[in-house]
Amino acid sequence: MNIEIVAFGIAKDILKGKSIQLEVASAATVEQVKKQLVNDYPDFQTLASLQLAVNAEYVVDDYVLNENDEVVLIPPVSGG
């Protein structure tokens, strides 16, 4: 199934763009998407944390995705 990945901050730099379409297995979980992103884009491994929101709601790693979900990557924030 296809999901849209939307990225902000450093995640946008890693993807080299604001969004991508990602093909994932049916009934994939957020954790599986994170693993696939690390496989496809190894620089994600360097992030201390990466939170995902699905359709504008924060979700946990065992959340099951549906076709055409919008997954937003929310990288760690630093400031000063």
Q: Domain of 70: which CATH number? A: 3.10.20.30
Q: Could you read off the pLDDT tens digit of each residue along the chain, which spans 80 residues?
A: 999 999 999 999 999 999 999 999 999 999 999 999 999 999 999 988 889 999 999 999 999 999 989 999 998 876 55
- What's the total number of domains in the chain? 1
Residue 18 counted as domain residue: yes
> How far apart (Å, rounded) are the C-alpha atoms in residues 60 and 19?
21
Residue 46 covered by a domain: yes
**Helix and strand counts by DSSP (H, E) for the chain:** 2, 5
pTM tops 0.75, yes or no: yes
What confidence score (pLDDT) does residue 78 get? Answer: 61
For residue 26, what are the contacts with CB-CB under 8 A and spacing of at least 6?
Answer: 1
Output the pLDDT for position 50.
87
